[in-house]
Amino acid sequence: MLEVLFFLAAIGALGGAVGVVFLKNPFYSVLSLVVHLIFLAVLFLLLEAQFLAAAQIVVYAGAVMVIYVFVAAYVGGIEEPLFDPIPRLRVLGPVLAAAIFIEISIAVLGSSLVALGTEGASDLEAGFGTPASIGLLLLEDFLIAFEVASLLLLVTAVAAIVLAGRKPGEEGVES
Amino acid sequence: MTIEWFVILAALLFAVGLAGLTVRRNPVVMLLCLELMLGAGALALLAFSRMTGDQDGQILVLIVLVVAACEVVVGLGLVVAMFRRRIPLDVDEIKELKG
């Protein structure tokens, strides 16, 4: 049963990813990424990460994708010459990607991590991956990382306004 | 459904994202491909977290999520700035570091 769910989610995530790369219209690419992220959240659930699956849906498929859709709509339909300006890149890019995939696969399968062949640790502590235990870890062991993340978000908010905002009296800028 | 499957799937998703990043020229789509690669990394981290039964990996994924959100905001801010200055939305057009 879980295997079936894994393969369904894997096919969905992969299909969404391929859609992002091959759809011509950026708007459809964004929607394809939403599909990908939802299936990715299912895979997170299969790995006992309930909180992260929920965060993935709410933060990503919800908030971040809204920004993407907004920007894609703002800049409008772009006449992109879908793959072409550097003709050889069309061949070299996929070759590079295939090489990376094969390399990672060999590195993983050839590693001496015996636990890779199992379904993971069997003695999971109670509440593994639930909001309660993640929150405890975040506010106790990883408090500094948590604070740095919040500072990073603040800096980003300022950066976005500086980058995209209109400066008063600026010339040559479309209103 | 062993851990290997998840890691191989993560490698595959990462490769798809990399192919898109090298092949597409539209900055919005390139950012989407970056999201794919970050998501693949998060999946691998979660798989290893499940493998060792240690929740620290999940915290790392949470931080990756935050960093990815920041990257999106800055990247899309650049796209909007390019659009405002009438630069064609093609990464090859940003050749000079002047405003």
Residue A63: CB partners within 8 Å, gap ≥ 6?
B69
Based on the domain organization, do A76 and A92 belong to the same domain? Answer: no
Interface test with B, best of A59, A92, A104 (most B CBs within 10 A): A104
Query: Range of B72's domain?
Result: 3-86
CATH code of residue A3: 1.20.120.1200
Cross-chain residue pair A47–B6, CB shorter than 8 Å: yes
pLDDT tens, chain B, 99 aa long: 788 889 999 999 999 999 998 888 788 888 999 999 999 999 999 999 988 888 888 999 999 999 999 999 998 888 888 888 777 777 776 766 655
Structural domain of residue A106, as residue ranges? Answer: 84-111
Do residues A57 and A71 both lie within one domain?
A: yes
Number of domains present in the structure of chain B: 1
Asked whether residue B99 is domain-assigned, the answer is: no
Sequence-ordered list of residues with C-beta below 8 angstroms from that of A68, at least 6 positions apart, any chain: A30, A33, B28, B31, B32, B72, B76
Determine the Cα angle at A91 with ends A87 and A96, to 5°: 130
The answer as to whether B94 is a domain residue is no
Contact A159 B77 (CB under 8 A): yes
**pLDDT score for A77:** 63
* pLDDT at residue A169, as a whole number: 62
Verify that A76 and A90 share a domain, yes or no.
Answer: no
Task: Indicate the residue of B3, B59, B65 with minimum beta-carbon distance to A142.
Answer: B59
Amino acid at A103: E
Nearest to A121 among B17, B52, B63 (CB): B52
A106: which residues sit within 8 A by CB, 6+ positions away? none
Q: Which residue ranges of chain A lie beneath pLDDT 70?
A: 77-87, 114-115, 167-175
Q: How far apart are CA A20 and CA A30, in angstroms?
A: 7
**Claim to verify: residue A26 and residue A13 sit in the same structural domain:** yes
B96 domain-assigned: no
Domain count, chain A: 3
Q: How many pairs of residues across A and B have Cβ atoms under 8 Å apart?
A: 248
